Structure 1
Amino acid sequence: MEVLTSQPTVDVATAAKAIGISRSTAFKLIAANEFPVRVIRAGKRIVVPTAGLRDLLGMTP
């Protein structure tokens, strides 16, 4: 997934797709503080740092 290497953060839907879960499941995990990587909340917006996703998916060298 090229977006994981070209952007510092992605939205929740993109992060969910990358790890193979639905968007609604991702939001449930975030609400329960159980999402597998760190999330950043900025007001109502939630973004996921791509560095954490790359680590989780084994994409970091």
Structure 2
Amino acid sequence: MIRLGQRRTVAATGMLAAIGLVVVGVGDFTEWIGDHASVLRALLLVVVLQGVALLIAGATRK
């Protein structure tokens, strides 16, 4: 499913998901983020779960 050449992409996806989690957590104090927090958290959850799934798939496939 994931080729050896795609490991960097998988790692980058996981890092972007982690960075996004921090940005939304910190940005939650702003008014706009506060108004749209539930939508952004739902979208972020999808990204985080996809990143974790890709990392697991990449780690288990050799």
Same fold (TM over 0.5): no
| TM-score, normalised via structure 1 length | 0.25
| TM-score, normalised via structure 2 length | 0.24
More strand by share: 1
Which protein, 1 or 2, shows the higher relative CO under an 8 Å CA cutoff with sep ≥ 6?
Answer: 2
